Structure 1
């Protein structure tokens, strides 16, 4: 398990290759729930080379080099095919809402964890009565190449999340909306060999 304040590297593995990495800060880790934070200004790392069967990461193509804004909090549960992102905005750091990010369940590594974003998401804005699905069209367009043989499984996870929310079930602590980062937590450096460290492929 990781200790609060320790650097945790989130890597995404796409079709057997590292695709992107983000050095984050451990907020808490009890072995089941891993909470990480990406400070504003964090450098986004991309591999120097690869076959990239579905192209390089879209953020790289768009020129994305650093995380902007107040930072992002992530809640990851062991064995669960989604995480929960929290965002804040504006000078008053207002909570924006709950972002259910469909992705591979976290696979722990020596430097952090590996996953893969599944494009399809569920967003529940702080001022909204209910949730909405996001990036549905993009998922249908990119999914067959990015997640061959897994489309139905990913859709089912989205439906499961929606069903739980419809039933009024909350599996996270809403007090996270009021969380604030340690003032000493600055953007972290990523290990130079991050892309060459062993990983499992799904």
Structure 2
């Protein structure tokens, strides 16, 4: 499959196993190789996410996220327009990995600095004509800028979505394996962490306008099988946020 060009706008979508889109996020391509698709955005990038998720972000009430998960389990949600705020985002997504490695940059004087690394555990990449599909599996790993310390995040929500059946046993096994892979990458300074200093110095290209979404969200290009995806599909037209 033809790779994406540097500077091209792509859309990351979280797609529920029902085939319905859970969220969309417009990103700009930095590089696209066999190792990883690297994308980025800055404040102002367009997004769509469930209305309850938008409410949780606005009100800072994490209990509303629980309602959002229950709506997901029931298959009932509406998408609300959103805008990426506050941080610059760098997203490193290996094609077959059950995770992505994200870096968040915040204002620092007249420039920006790396605030933290953030590993999102999620489905492998499934490419589409406009970007890639995945599905956030809730649990995350937060890492300090110098890679010296890390901690797990949202373990309670992960247990809850498992009880709701949103994360299947197969997906849970894949997440457990991916946790070990990421910790090994971190310890061995491999993958994206092999170039941590270079990525830490990355800055959003100011000449690029904020990435914008195309038309309204639609169903995914195909429906995930019961039990979740077991692998990526990097060679066909049709691949694959924190509060």
Q: Is the contact made by 1:39 and 1:185 (CA closer than 8 Å) also made in structure 2?
A: no
Higher helix share: 2
Correspondence 1:78 to 2:95: yes
Q: Is the contact made by 2:8 and 2:28 (CA closer than 8 Å) also made in structure 1?
A: yes
1:200 CA drift (Å): 4.5
Identify which of 139, 142, 150 aligns with 1:123. 142
The count of corresponding residues between Structure 1 and Structure 2 is 196
Identify which of 79, 89, 97 aligns with 2:106. 89
**C-alpha RMSD over aligned residues:** 2.6
| 1:48-197 aligned within 5 A | 52-54=72-74, 65-92=82-109, 93-126=112-145, 129-144=148-163, 145-149=165-169, 150-165=171-186, 167-172=187-192, 173-174=195-196, 175-196=198-219
Greater CA deviation, 108-117 or 66-75?
66-75
**Looking at both structures, which has the greater relative contact order when contacts are Cα pairs under 8 Å and sequence separation is at least 6?**
2
Q: Is the contact made by 1:121 and 1:158 (CA closer than 8 Å) also made in structure 2?
A: no
TM-score when normalising by structure 2: 0.72
Unaligned runs of 5+ in 2: 52-70, 230-243
1:125 CA drift (Å): 1.3
1:36 CA drift (Å): 0.6
